[in-house]
Structure 1
Amino acid sequence: MNISLKLFIEYLQIEKNCSQYTVEHYHHDINDFFVFMAEEAISDLKDVEYSDVRIYLTKLYEKQLSRRTVARRISCLRSFYKFLLREKLVDENPIALVSIPKGEKRLPDFFYEQELELLFESCETETALGKRNKALLELLYGTGIRVSECCKIRLTDLDFYLSTVLVHGKGQKQRYVPFGSFAQDELESYIQTARKELLKSKEDHGFLFVNFRGGPLTDRGVREILNKMFDHSALHGKIHPHKLRHTFATHLLNNGADLRTVQELLGHAFLSSTQVYTHVTNEHLRRTYMSTHPRA
């Protein structure tokens, strides 16, 4: 690995406390830029100029990447060069003047309640892995937490008397999130039986969710589990962990929750991050009106 990239990855992991999933994205995007540098015969990060970055942008658009992906690549490189400047590994930031393309305004993708029922019904709970998967699905939907937050949960973070979980969020922030009776039942069943079986007599590391080898479940592991569950259900399309988070927020708002409460539960620093879900619920109201009002 390039020494500059190695230092940057360590900075993301140690100082910024980024999730493994985020680190992998940075690693991939910066490596892509290194491939471009090699194609353009640019041997050192110090030699990259603004004009080179413009050429790189053109190549990204030629690949027909979405504006969102291009924006992420540029934002990634900007952070990388800011770090290099701080460490005095380069003299200037050629990305600083590059404008990030505005992303398409897409509504969050979510499950309707009937769709979610199909997903829950497809879960088998006869095996230890099946019980773990059902508990995982109930917790993700029942709390709206991020996958990275879910993987950090320890047994000591759960309070079954108050039905709450202590969530370790972004930027070292912590919050308590309640969960319902469905999640509680599945979590208690998993912890009392399946988790012990999955540990396979290994020393208990304390993390709530365990993989099939007995180690802590990772972000990638959660994604693979959800994909397999989705494939075994009667649903069509794609699933991603954030879709359950979007579903959590949308269902709360559809059923009368106020925006501030949803903001607190999601752990959003700014209300504007939560307001995107009001567009989803407004669309839901519009469709309901159009399909039910006699004069629509």
Structure 2
Amino acid sequence: MLIKFALQDFLEDREFKNVSQSTLESYKVILKQFEDFCTTNELLNVEDITVNTIKKYLIYCQKKGNNATTTNSKLQRIRAFLNYMIECEVIEKNPAKKIQKAREDIKIDVFTDYHIKQMLNYYRRLKNREHAFHSYRDYTIIVTLLGTGVRLSEMCALKWSDIDFTQQTMSLFGKNRKRETIPVTEKCMKELSAYKVFCEQHFKGNLNEYIFTNQKNEQITPNAVKNVFKRLSKIMNFRDVRLSSHTFRHTFCQKCIQAGMSTFAIQKLMRHSNISVTEKYAAMWGNDLKEQNDRYNPLNNLEV
């Protein structure tokens, strides 16, 4: 079967299975790159794809500057595609299964208090001076990401009807495609409430059902938010941290862990499908080891 037509079938199957739009786009981009690589190397049929083909493609990606996390993501997408080819009885075995993932460097970016204050102060100055829509919206976006740890796609999909200002909760359509409710602090609720009043005034009573919109009062897209952070990154010029929505999520997780919140509670707030993910973060940022060492170290009772 031609790779070109096989990919079309696979993408239609993913769409039928109702994967998220971001996942579908990821499949399209990565598998199109893989198809182009195969075509360049005169491989046209799915049956001709071998372990060596996939390895050469991943090495090619590494030489182009892809890190281990990116190449592992590409390997995962190729595996899924070839598993589908087995289901369709095009091939008998998946050559991608024989390839081990690359070892990833464990470095997770988080913001310091300095970073957070710099960003919020920047928007606060703009907001007070100009009271511009963009500065108020972007300020509230940062407060929401920091105060809840929600994912970018979840935040963009938030509606005013998802916020219960009385019970102080937020309802989210999460990564696992089910609706979940999380508690929200009073401080974050006050910011969202004030922003709602501002939007009602700015749009002359025509409040959009979505919380975060563009200047035309249309639902904001994840790409638009990424562009906001790209512009902010140039202004802030942070050299030691990546300014992205996921860094806000990691920062939320780190702050909760360092404040002593239980792993179980953090898993519920972050909505990790597996607690092992939460435990990985806890091992990285937890202060239990330091506290235990400070308390029980043998030098404590010795004069040295």
TM-score range, shorter chain: 0.7 to 0.9
SS in 2 for 1:119: helix
Aligned pair count reads 289
Give the RMSD, CA atoms, in angstroms: 3.1
Matched, 1:106 2:106: yes
Q: Distance in 1 between matches of 2:64 and 2:281?
A: 31
Matched, 1:180 2:181: no
Matched, 1:206 2:239: no
How far 1:245 moved relative to its partner? 0.5
1:87-236 map, 5 Å: 87-88=88-89, 90-123=90-123, 124-125=126-127, 126-194=131-199, 197=202, 206-233=209-236, 235-236=238-239
Q: Deviations along 1:133-159, whole A, 9 cap, x unmatched?
A: 111111111000111111121111101
Larger RCO of the pair (alpha carbons < 8 Å, separation 6+) = 1
Matched, 1:276 2:276: no
> Percent of pairs identical after alignment?
20
For structure 2, list consecutive stretches of 5 or more residues without a partner in the other structure.
none
- Aligned in 2, Cα 1:19/1:248: closer, same or farther, shift over 3 Å? farther
Contact 2:4 2:35 in 1 (8 A): no
Kindly provide the amino acid, as one letter, of the partner of residue 268 in structure 2: E
Q: Name the structure 1 match of 2:17.
A: 15
Output the TM-score relative to the length of structure 2: 0.82
How far 1:17 moved relative to its partner? 2.7
Once structures 1 and 2 are overlaid, which stretch shifts more, 76-85 or 189-198? 189-198
Matched, 1:251 2:265: no
Q: Name the structure 2 match of 1:68.
A: 69
Contact 1:48 1:94 in 2 (8 A): no
Q: Distance in 1 between matches of 2:194 and 2:12?
A: 38
**Greater CA radius of gyration, 1 or 2?**
2
Q: Distance in 2 between matches of 1:93 and 1:73?
A: 19
Q: Name the structure 1 match of 2:85.
A: 84
Kindly provide the amino acid, as one letter, of the partner of residue 98 in structure 1: K
Kindly provide the amino acid, as one letter, of the partner of residue 245 in structure 2: P
Q: Distance in 2 between matches of 1:268 and 1:194?
A: 32
Q: Distance in 2 between matches of 1:128 and 1:53?
A: 48
Contact 2:203 2:217 in 1 (8 A): yes
How far 1:200 moved relative to its partner? 9.8
Q: Distance in 2 between matches of 1:103 and 1:198?
A: 50
Q: Deviations along 1:216-244, whole A, 9 cap, x unmatched?
A: 11111121122323333364442111100
Q: Distance in 2 between matches of 1:196 and 1:91?
A: 60
Q: Distance in 1 between matches of 2:226 and 2:74?
A: 22
Q: Distance in 2 between matches of 1:10 and 1:151?
A: 25
Contact 1:128 1:198 in 2 (8 A): no
